[in-house]
Amino acid sequence: MNLSDSERVISVLDEAGYTYTDNEEEAGLIGILACSVRQKAIDKVYSRIHKWNKWKNHKNLITFISGCILPNDHEKFLKLFDITFQMKDMPKLPEMISRYGITTPVHLKTGIDPHNENIEEFWSVKPSYQSDFEAYIPIQNGCDKFCSFCAVPFTRGREVSRPSKDILAEVALLVSQGYKSITLLGQNVNSYGLDKKGEEITFSELLREVGELGNRMKKEFWVYFTSPHPRDMTDEVIEVIAQYPVLAKQIHLPMQSGDDKVLIRMNRKHNMEKYRQIVHSIRRILPEATLFTDIIVGFTGETEEQFENTRKTMEEFRFNMAYTAMYSPRPGATSHRWDDDVPLEEKKRRLHELTEELRKHNRIYNHNLLGKTMRVLVRGEDRKIGFLSALTEGKLIVRFPHENENLTGQFADVKITSASDFSLEGELVKVEELV
């Protein structure tokens, strides 16, 4: 989500005469788009801003912060940053900068607009895409789920769906410009449309429209979405994905825990029975799909037995990827009021165990791909010298020997020749189009 937001910020600042730089030290304007799910990210903000404020002793520098910020952090950030604003007010950022330090308040209103009333103005900003073959499209903002470990409902406000005609127009524009990988983004993508109470299409209908658009445009591209919530996941969504070639056969389904009692404490509003049903549907309807998940280990009160239930799900579901994080209490989230009672060493051990489980199953899955020819999207130079890095439709990493970086952003067929735990290696069979 932050990547998509960043693209829009860059676009607005580009219009205002700024140029994006990777070099922190040469910047005259530095901004942070904060993330509210993990406290670690916010801790990093504090460490960075203190450094930048020291730089102000010897250079002109303006700092700003936006994104997911809780009211308590907001108060502190007002003292540390020159400008703070909500994402929906981002189109006004150049105006805030121009007023900074002159005569007018830089920020007239703070806090969270829970109803995201001006979010459409933000969505209307044309993003400055950071890649010419991969793009992210926000389709929904905010969250109504109130998971106890997460502060998003308090930082991003309520679920608001972007008009489908705008989403489809952005998809069509990107595809016509040659984009090959498009990700539909939202805190709860599959509750898309529900806030409009019948006046907007549902998520499965939106996917169908994207699929139809793909058929009409007759171009090869892959469309992903993240993140869905198991509570709102339907067989219809999975069936639509199966029907259209442009809808990528990869599903990211956050589980968070494999134990019903932990899920209750997390206020997830899904149980393992429901999760199992969805995975069974995915395996039945989309047998070729890869499955990714998110897991938190060491959540408040998580016992060894409860963790063991999560570990067993690694065996049961054989995820292709699990983004696993050690629980860290986030101020503003309900769970912040509880004792963070699983010791750090224990959290590390649990994280390690899950990683090993993931490694074990990936090894088997990847070895089964040996000798197969897979369609990949080339993403650029690999860390391994003389190799290019690519992703399959299922987002598995494939590297293959090739010196020509011009293949970046192209589809290619690669025959898998070796497999390791978290990546594949192969040789180029065919490239779809050469620049």
Partner 1 sequence: MYFCPLIQQTKTEDLKKYTITAVRHLTESTFVLQLERNGLPFQTGQFVILRRPGTIDQREYTVYSGEQEDVLEVLVREVSDGKVTPELKKLQPGEEMEVDGPFGFFRFQPTMFPTQKFLFVATGTGISPFHSFVKTYPEHDYRLIHGVRYSEEAYEHNHFEKDKITLCTTGDKNGDFNGRVTDYLFTLKLDTDTQCFLCGNSEMIHEAFDILTGKGIPVQNIYTEVYF
Q: Give the residue ranges of DSSP H helices in 318-381.
A: 344-367
Q: Which is nearer to partner 1, 334 or 392 (CB)?
A: 334
Q: Which is nearer to partner 1, 158 or 283 (CB)?
A: 158
Residue 391, classed as helix, strand or coil, is: strand
Structure tokens at 319: 């995820």
| Minimum separation from the CB atom of position 115 to partner 1 (A) | 8
| Minimum separation from the CB atom of position 265 to partner 1 (A) | 5
Residue 32, beta-bridge partner list = 65
| Minimum separation from the CB atom of position 154 to partner 1 (A) | 8
Residue pair 391/377 in contact by the 8 Å Cβ criterion = yes
Q: Which is nearer to partner 1, 114 or 343 (CB)?
A: 114
| Minimum separation from the CB atom of position 142 to partner 1 (A) | 12
Q: Which is nearer to partner 1, 78 or 369 (CB)?
A: 78
Order of strands, edge to edge, in the sheet holding 134-138? 134-138, 181-185, 222-226
Q: Which is nearer to partner 1, 203 or 411 (CB)?
A: 203
Q: Which is nearer to partner 1, 260 or 340 (CB)?
A: 260
Structure tokens at 289: 């799909």
Q: Which is nearer to partner 1, 6 or 39 (CB)?
A: 39
Q: Which is nearer to partner 1, 101 or 380 (CB)?
A: 101
| Minimum separation from the CB atom of position 396 to partner 1 (A) | 33
Task: Please report the sign of the dihedral spanned by the C-alpha atoms of residue 66, residue 72, residue 77, residue 79.
Answer: positive
| Minimum separation from the CB atom of position 156 to partner 1 (A) | 13
Q: Which is nearer to partner 1, 70 or 167 (CB)?
A: 70
Classify 374 in phi/psi space as left (phi over 0), alpha (psi -120 to 50) or beta.
Answer: beta
| Minimum separation from the CB atom of position 342 to partner 1 (A) | 15
Residue pair 129/180 in contact by the 8 Å Cβ criterion = no
DSSP 258-285: S-HHHHHHTT-S--HHHHHHHHHHHHHH
Residue 388, beta-bridge partner list = 381, 400
Task: Please report the sign of the dihedral spanned by the C-alpha atoms of residue 83, residue 84, residue 87, residue 88.
Answer: negative
| Minimum separation from the CB atom of position 329 to partner 1 (A) | 13
Using CB under 8 A as the criterion, which residues of the chain lie in contact with partner 1 when the complex forms?
71-72, 74-75, 78, 82-83, 100-114, 144, 146, 148, 231, 260-261, 264-265, 267, 269, 271-274, 301, 334-335, 337-338
Structure tokens at 227: 């993140």
Residue 197, classed as helix, strand or coil, is: coil
| Minimum separation from the CB atom of position 81 to partner 1 (A) | 10
β-strand 62-67 against 29-34: which pairing, if any?
Answer: parallel
Residue reference for tokens 């108060």: 75
Angle between helix axes 272-285 and 235-243 (nearest 10 degrees) is 20
Which residues are within 8 A (CB) of 379 and not within 5 positions of it... i.e. 6 or more apart? 134, 388, 389, 390, 391, 408, 409
Distance between CA atoms of 115 and 112, rounded to whole angstroms?
A: 9
